[in-house]
Amino acid sequence: MPRSPRHAVPLTVALLVVSLPLPATASPGLAQSAAVPRATAAAPSFATTTAATPGEVRTTLRDRATGTAVRGCVSLVPVDRDLLTVVFLGEVQDGRHGGCTGVDGGDVLASNVPPGRYHLLAAPYDNAQHGMQWVGKHGGTGQRERGVIIKVRPGATVTAPTVRFDAPGTVTGRVTRAADGTPVSGGYAMPLPVVPDPKNSDYGAITDDDGRYTLTGLGPYRWPLYYTGYGLASQWSGGVADRTTADTVRVRSGTTVSSNQTLVAGTVVSGTIAVDELPNYSQVIAFHARTGDVTGVVDVGADYTLRLLPGQRVLLRCDCAHVPSRWFPNAEQVSGAQPVRIRHTPVTADFDLTGPATG
């Protein structure tokens, strides 16, 4: 259960900086990818690469107003739904390939990138001066679909548009339960979904005992925000499960805007877990069947109970054994997963990992 701090913890949005640390041996000028590909030690085995020769992506980070070089990181976030679901315990859903600048800032080279289509997410190191952004053709945006699509080809280096950082803004608000209006403490407000590690709580702005949060470090654009609360259905701003239909929050440089959110209990999705040996921190993760976004996560034992917003179809994955993850009903790859429709009545989805996958 998430902790319930007495005071709202401001989040300085540096998700990419955490995921892609500056190499200790970084030198001025061009930096190679800091952590490519990224994976945690706890991540189950999963087919994430193809036989195709990887490519590279080159870009430059600058201040929009002055043109000076900026230190920071970029992440290549897959456009393809199936590749977007490659996210595991303790990871932000921001892709597994990217790079950071050297100590002088400016140039970035992301190498060993599998061929495919990607959105480019950029975050500065000093996010008191500059805000996170999805990179657009002529500037930043807070909406992924409005960003450029980078096409990586085998063995080729593609030059992405220059990242032009703007000054950041702040979002504050209050998260409450739709049923009775009581505050949601220990919840999160985030620009990107995560698969949380129970031992780590530094994923987003945490709501305090009165349900209040402060989210800093976002670029001055329209952002959909992702809200979670213990025992409640996760949702995007506006109370929807689909990020692309979410209400956006207009962030403005140097100012604070307000975004309040109510969370519903949602529909119960539950089932049993049959497995020879259950690892610590096993989880069932729900992904939106169309976008691939994480839409719910729950820790599991011999069984699980997950609450999801009705009106969506999801793909369920059980990271519940020292073998490849299992997609409901019994597939080893996401391509074999069966979508589960979430209505207003409870859903049962059991996992049996005692035998081989069938799809």
226 beta partners: 190, 236
Question: Which of 136, 165, 194 represents a domain boundary (last residue)?
Answer: 165
Phi, psi of 19 (to 5 degrees): -75, -30
- Residue 24's pLDDT is what? 35
- What pLDDT, on a 0 to 100 scale, did the predictor assign at position 335? 95
Q: What percent of the chain clears pLDDT 90, i.e. is strictly above it?
A: 79
**Claim to verify: residue 220 and residue 231 sit in the same structural domain:** yes
Alpha carbon 225 to chain centroid, angstroms: 11
Distances in Å between the alpha carbon of 53 and those of 18, 56, 116, 165, 271? 28, 10, 11, 32, 41
Counted residue by residue, the chain has a size of 359
pLDDT at 18 over 90: no
What's the whole-number average pLDDT of the chain? 88
Distance CA 26, CA 24 (A): 6
Report the DSSP beta bridge partners of residue 238.
none
Position 8 in a domain:
no
Torsion sign over Cα 19, 21, 23, 26: positive
Residue 255 sits in the same domain as residue 300: no
Final residue belonging to a domain, choices 263, 298, 326: 263
Residue 157 shares a structural domain with residue 29: yes
Nearest CA-CA partner of 143 in 250, 4, 42, 253: 250
Q: Can you give the pLDDT at residue 37?
A: 33
Confidence check: pLDDT of 278 > 50 = yes
Does residue 145 share a domain with residue 51?
A: yes
Reduce the DSSP state of residue 91 to 3 states and report it.
Answer: strand
Q: Which of 203, 237, 263 is the last residue of a domain?
A: 263
My answer on whether 160 and 287 are in the same domain is no
- Both 271 and 259 in one domain: the answer is no
Give CA angle at 82 (327, 329), nearest 5°: 15
DSSP track, 191-250:
SS-EE--TT--TTSEEP-TTSEEEEEEE-SSEE--EEE-TTS--EETTTBS-GGGSPPEE
In this structure, is residue 358 part of a structural domain?
no
Does one domain contain both 222 and 251? Answer: yes
Say if residue 148 is in the same domain as residue 109: yes
The CATH number given to whatever domain includes residue 28 is 2.60.40.1120
Question: Cβ–Cβ contacts within 10 Å for residue 248, how many?
Answer: 16
Q: Phi then psi for 195, rounded to 5 degrees?
A: -105, 95
Rounded mean pLDDT of 82-92?
95
Same structural domain for residues 99 and 154? yes
The answer to whether residue 359 is domain-embedded is no
Residues 24, 128, single domain; the answer is yes
Assess if residue 160 is contained within a domain: yes
**Has residue 39 got a pLDDT over 90?**
no
Residue 358: what residue type?
T
Nearest to 191, CA basis, from 160, 236, 152: 236
Q: Do 38 and 120 fall within a single domain?
A: yes
The CATH number linked to 320 is 2.60.40.10
Residue 95 confidence class, pLDDT cut points 50, 70, 90? very high
Whether 300 is covered by a domain: the verdict is yes
Total domains in the chain come to 3
Evaluate whether residue 177 is within a structural domain.
Answer: yes
Q: What is the domain extent for residue 209?
A: 168-263
**235 and 328 fall within a common domain:** no
109: in domain: yes
Higher pLDDT, 84 or 32: 84
Cβ–Cβ < 8 Å for 152, 116: yes
pLDDT of 242-273, one tens digit each?
Answer: 999 999 999 999 999 999 999 999 999 999 99
In terms of Cβ atoms closer than 10 Å to its own Cβ (0-12, 13-18, 19+), residue 245 is exposed
Residue 34 pLDDT > 70: no
Residue 29 has pLDDT above 70, yes or no: no
Q: Would 5 be classed as within a structural domain?
A: no
Q: Give the pLDDT of residue 201.
A: 66
Which of 9-23, 63-77, 136-150, 307-321 bottoms out in mean pLDDT, i.e. has the lowest? 9-23
pLDDT band with cut points at 50, 70 and 90 for residue 80: very high
- How many whole angstroms separate alpha carbon 224 and alpha carbon 207? 18
Q: How far is CA 86 from CA 47, 70, 179, 196, 322, in A?
A: 9, 29, 34, 14, 17
